Amino acid sequence: MPSPASIVCAPPEAEETTWMRELAAGDAAAMRRLMERWKLPLLGFLQRLLGSAPEAEDLTLEVFVRLHRAAPDYAPTARFSTYLFGIAHRLALNELRRRQRKPAEATAPEAFDHFAGASSEGARLAELEEVFQRALVELAPKPRAALLLIVQQQLSYEEAALALRSNPNAVRVLVHRARQELKQKMEELS
């Protein structure tokens, strides 16, 4: 049995870098692997950011189309997830601009059941999720995206800053304000 010191672990997301190289070389299986690994995280991020499951599904596919086009030029200067969520964030902002600030509808809590893995724990949990969704949708797009990248996708502040084309301190401020505003909105709605 090898000692723990002798075990060499691949850096996080090293597989994705390899898959991007393979994708650039025309390997369709690499695209399937990327989609299998990242479809649900992207879908969850976009669904909560946009407040619409159908639009989130459309944009998730568009993210993968853009990823495919960008594969030949991909240079892993940051984590792959940072790169991927940066594409998703920019597409979502474009979609939100296209809506011309029309208020989004809250997503039904049942739409997130497949993310939770477990069935609902009762009416109170469903009610709380609905209040959370309504409050989340009311946040401005950039603070909402920052909060989702940090909390839901568990990116570091530095990675979220790259995805949002911002700096880590600005992301910290966005997340702090988003949490405060979310708490206030949830208190008002419940």
pLDDT of the residue at 99? 79
Q: Locate 32 and state its tokens.
A: 């399937």
Q: Which residues of the chain have pLDDT under 50?
A: 1-11, 104, 117-118, 120
Tell me the angle at which helices 53-70 and 28-50 cross, rounded to the nearest 10 degrees: 140
pLDDT of the residue at 102? 56
DSSP letters of 45-88? Answer: HHHHHHS-HHHHHHHHHHHHHHHHHHGGG---SS-HHHHHHHHH
In contact, 71 and 24? CB cutoff 8 Å: yes
Domains and CATH numbers, the chain: 12-189 (1.10.1740.10)
Task: Indicate the length of the chain as a whole number.
Answer: 190
pLDDT of the residue at 113? 55
pLDDT of the residue at 74? 92
pLDDT of the residue at 4? 37
Among left, alpha and beta (phi > 0; psi -120 to 50; other), residue 154 is: left
pLDDT of the residue at 126? 78
Distance CA 159, CA 81 (A): 8
